Amino acid sequence: MSDLAHDDVLTETEPSPEPVVSEPRTGRFPSGPRLLVAAVYAAAAVPVLYVLYRVHRAPALPYTDYWTAFVRVFNPDGSVHLRGFFTYQNEHPFVIPNAIYYIDAKFFEGTNQFCGYLSVVLALLAIFFLRRLLPEAMSAPMRAVMTFTMTAVMFCPSGLWNFVRGMSGAAWLTANLFCLAAILLAWRGRTVPATVLAAFSILSYGTGFGAPVAIALIALVRRDKWWRWALPLGLLAGAAAVYAATSNGGSTGSNTHDPALIASTFLSNVGMLWDPSGGSLSVIAGAAGLFLIGWSFWTVRSEPAFADLVPWWGVAVYSICAAGLISLARGQVSDGVGVQGRYSSLSGLFWIAVAVIALRVVLARKPSSVHVGALASTVLVFIAVSPALADQAMGLEPTQRLSAAALRFGASGPVRANVTPIAQVIPRLKALGDYPFNSSYSVGCGFKPGDTVTAKIRTLPLTYENSTNGAVDVDASAADGALRFTGWIRRGAGANCVLILDRTGKIVGGGVTKIPRSDIGQFGQASPPIGYDALTPIGQTGLRVVLGFDDGYWLQTPQPG
């Protein structure tokens, strides 16, 4: 019996909200496999550690959507603007993420890492609630295997976007977490607090509108008293009315109601973990998963032995509702793409629900080896096809680091599209002392802006005896108030830093190194990331572009005039 008590209003005539299990446990391993269970739990930590590593290595400057919320919740002098918390972000309810961004900017120097680590915590808490929903008939070894499956899916490289771009996970994963907590409470008979949490899910992101649908479904399937399903549906109706009265509708593009486009977007969104390219496989996988969910629900919904699946149908319905909302928003004439890294958590929840339901309904009489094999095969596919979305999530990291240097050195014109509205962002950053206007910002090689390089600087020719070479691709035009210097050098693993020095050796600009250069190759092979990109304000002469390597600091010739 759970320590979560029923509502006081629950009467003896109502069906018990506790799961009824009459079948023997399924999926047993041989007795006493404690070491195996411990090993499986240890393996479950590997995906989490990988994501933590990627968050640690991610740029510290937050990504695009963070800045519009940042401007709304802060005044130019850094004081709080309370009205800004109760605003929409691309027409999504955004109260909770606005509060998270405020905390980040006010107390944690406004770094991308804060939201990234928070997103990891949110995903771990989601897994905690999912584990609490596992059928009581499931053996301890199978619970361990399911825990590994959950972490492997929720922390799959396809979902890196929500972690390395933490501002995104702070919205999507928060909505998921509140919904899962609401489902657990509704399953335990706590309808009122479940409805409150569903409201928090809605206040986190637009996908949260699926939360009251999920908890209403639980009450309907169990034939609870009418108010237990009417309360969340009343919340849904009220929230929809407020949204209709206060929002401006769609965010971008010209929406179309083409049924074929919406359907393909919807199915590819559901099945995206099988095919992140958004091809036909994602559509087929999405349709297959929906068929299994629908068939199992229709087949066993009234059988007491399968009552422990009721909350999992709630999880599936939430992810399906979210996919439907996404497909409507993305169903645009020139868009209609249902596969994006930031959507992966919802597809992950759907397939975790499919896995649990399949183990109970489809594979119930199969040996444990079949259960484990099916789960392992699914996880391997999800990981094997993930590079496309993982690369998408990390593709802008060099640009993001360049943007930080441009902001700090006052050469922000060329990167204004990455930090919008940049004219309003900069005074707020300076007033709060947020990154990159803080002491933790570095231009690399141990230097801070304004430092003087006193070490010997040697000249590096473009051609060397060992055939390594490079080029200075100078764009010294004074576009957007900045001088920009780009180039590449094939020397070892590339430069550790790029510094722009004035005549006295003072650092007056910087940028990013180890940028991939697709235009440079050898014997048909793409080059390693050996490019660099640096910015400095206009109005300076006698500038030198210096590259820092393990063996010292070098000028590349020819230098810009």
Tokens 């802006």 sit at which residue? 449
Q: What is the pLDDT of residue 162?
A: 97
The packing angle between helices 112-132 and 34-57, to 10°, is: 160
Q: Are strands 507-515 and 497-501 parallel, antiparallel or unpaired?
A: antiparallel
Q: Which of 361, 349, 290, 319 is nearest to 23 (CA)?
A: 361
So where are the chain's domains? 34-61+111-394, 443-561
Q: What is the pLDDT of residue 516?
A: 84
**Cα distance from N-terminal residue to C-terminal residue, the chain:** 78
Q: Is 245 exposed, middle or buried (0-12, 13-18, 19+ CB in 10 A)?
A: exposed
* pLDDT for position 521: 62
In angstroms, the CA 95 to CA 85 distance is 5
Structure tokens at 338: 């249902």
Separation CA 240–CA 325 (nearest Å): 13
E strands in 134-292? none
- Is the CATH number 2.40.128 carried by domain 443-561? no
β partners of residue 207: none
Instruction: Report residues of the chain scoring pLDDT below 70.
Output: 1-32, 249-257, 331-336, 462-469, 474-479, 521-527, 557-561
Give 61-102 pLDDT, tens digit per residue.
999 999 999 999 999 999 999 999 999 998 899 999 999 999
Neighbours of 470 (CB within 10 A): 24
Rounded Cα–Cα distance for residues 238 and 236 (Å): 5
Name the token pair of 42: 């240890």
The string of pLDDT tens digits covering residues 135-144 is 988 888 999 9
- Record the tokens describing residue 128, joined without a space: 């905690």
SS3 content of the chain, % helix, strand, coil (to 5): 55, 10, 35
Q: For residues 79-114, b (16+ Cβ closer than 10 Å) or e, as one string?
A: eeeeebbebbbeebbbebbbbbbbebbeeebbbbbb
Q: Report the alpha-carbon angle 465-471-477, nearest 5.
A: 160
Kindly report the CA angle at 432 between 430 and 435, in degrees rounded to 5?
A: 70
**Cα gap 196→182, rounded to integer Å:** 8
Residues in the chain: 561
| Coil/strand/helix, residue 323 | helix
What is the pTM (predicted TM-score) of this model? Answer: 0.90
Which residue in 127, 205, 114, 126 sits closest to 165, CA to CA?
Answer: 114
What is the DSSP secondary-structure string of 372-398?
HHHHHHHHHHHHHTTHHHHHHHHTTHH
What 3-state DSSP class applies to 536? strand
